[in-house]
Amino acid sequence: MTIIEHIIGGQNTPGASGETQNVYNPATGEAIHQVVLGAEAEINAAVRAAKDAFPAWSGTSPAKRAAIMFALRGVMTRRADEIARTISAEHGKTHDDALGEVARALEVVEYACGIPDKLKGDFSREVGPGIDTCAERQALGVVAGITPFNFPAMVPLWMIPMALACGNTFVLKPSERDPSSANLIYDLFREAGLPDGVLNVVHGGKQAVDAVIAHPNIQAISFVGSTPIAHYIYSNGCAAGKRVQALGGAKNHMIILPDADIDQAADALMGAGFGSAGERCMAISVAVPVGEETANRLVEKLTPMVRALKIGPSTDTDAEMGPVITKEAKDRIENLISAGEGEGAEVLVDGRGYNLQGYEGGFWVGGTLLDRVTEDMTVYKQEIFGPVLSVLRADSYDTAVELINKHQYGNGTAIFTRDGDAARDFAKRIQVGMVGINVPIPVPVGYHSFGGWKQSIFGAHGIYGPEAIHFYTRLKTVTSRWPTGIRSGAEFTFPSMG
CA atoms of 452 and 94, how far apart (whole Å): 26
Domain annotation covers residue 483: no
Tell me, yes or no, whether 63 and 148 share the same domain. yes
Tell me, yes or no, whether 296 and 197 share the same domain. no
Tell me, yes or no, whether 306 and 355 share the same domain. yes
Which residue blocks in 288-442 are alpha helix, DSSP H?
A: 292-307, 327-342, 378-381, 397-405, 420-429
CA atoms of 400 and 343, how far apart (whole Å): 21
- Three-state DSSP at 317 gives coil
Structural domain boundaries, residue 92: 2-248+456-478
Tell me, yes or no, whether 102 and 224 share the same domain. yes
Domain annotation covers residue 493: no
Tell me, yes or no, whether 198 and 293 share the same domain. no
Dihedral-angle region of residue 274 (phi above 0 means left; psi in -120 to 50 means alpha; beta otherwise): alpha
CA angle 136, 138, 141 (to 5 degrees): 175
Tell me, yes or no, whether 462 and 418 share the same domain. no
Tell me, yes or no, whether 166 and 278 share the same domain. no
Split into its structural domains, the chain has a count of 2
List the single range of 63-67, 163-167, 304-308, 484-488 with lowest mean pLDDT. Answer: 484-488
Tell me, yes or no, whether 413 and 471 share the same domain. no
Tell me, yes or no, whether 462 and 402 share the same domain. no
Mean pLDDT, the chain, whole residue set: 96
Of the pLDDT bands very low, low, confident and very high (cuts 50, 70, 90), residue 486 is low
Tell me, yes or no, whether 473 and 420 share the same domain. no
Beta bridge partners of 218: 142
HSE-CB of 336 using CA atoms within 13 angstroms: 26
Tell me, yes or no, whether 128 and 244 share the same domain. yes
What value does the mean pLDDT take over residues 43-72?
A: 98
- Can you give the CATH number for the domain in which 43 is found? 3.40.605.10
Backbone angles phi, psi at 345, to 5 degrees: -70, 145
Task: Give yes or no for a contact between 391 and 413, defined as CB atoms under 8 angstroms apart.
Answer: no
Domain annotation covers residue 377: yes
Domain annotation covers residue 442: no
Task: Give yes or no for a contact between 178 and 87, defined as CB atoms under 8 angstroms apart.
Answer: yes
Whether pTM > 0.75 for this model: the answer is yes
Domain annotation covers residue 29: yes
Domain annotation covers residue 495: no
Element (H, E) at 172: strand 169-173
- Can you give the CATH number for the domain in which 378 is found? 3.40.309.10
Instruction: Give 394's DSSP letter.
Output: B
pLDDT digit string (tens) for 225-276?
A: 999 999 999 999 999 999 999 999 999 999 999 999 999 999 999 999 999 9
Nearest to 203 by CA among 5, 13, 48, 392: 5
Domain annotation covers residue 391: yes
Whether the pLDDT of residue 485 is over 70: the answer is: no
Residues identified as active-site: 281
Tell me, yes or no, whether 377 and 404 share the same domain. yes
CB burial readout 403-431, b (16+ within 10 A) else e: bbeebebbbbbbbbbeeeebbeebeeebe
CB burial readout 138-166, b (16+ within 10 A) else e: ebbbbbbbbbbbbbbbbbbbbbbbbbbbb
Of the pLDDT bands very low, low, confident and very high (cuts 50, 70, 90), residue 134 is very high
What value does the mean pLDDT take over residues 392-406?
A: 98
Of the pLDDT bands very low, low, confident and very high (cuts 50, 70, 90), residue 289 is very high
Cα distances (angstroms) measured from residue 290 to each of 257, 287, 480:
5, 10, 62
What value does the mean pLDDT take over residues 173-195?
A: 98
Domain annotation covers residue 362: yes
Percent of the chain with pLDDT over 90: 95
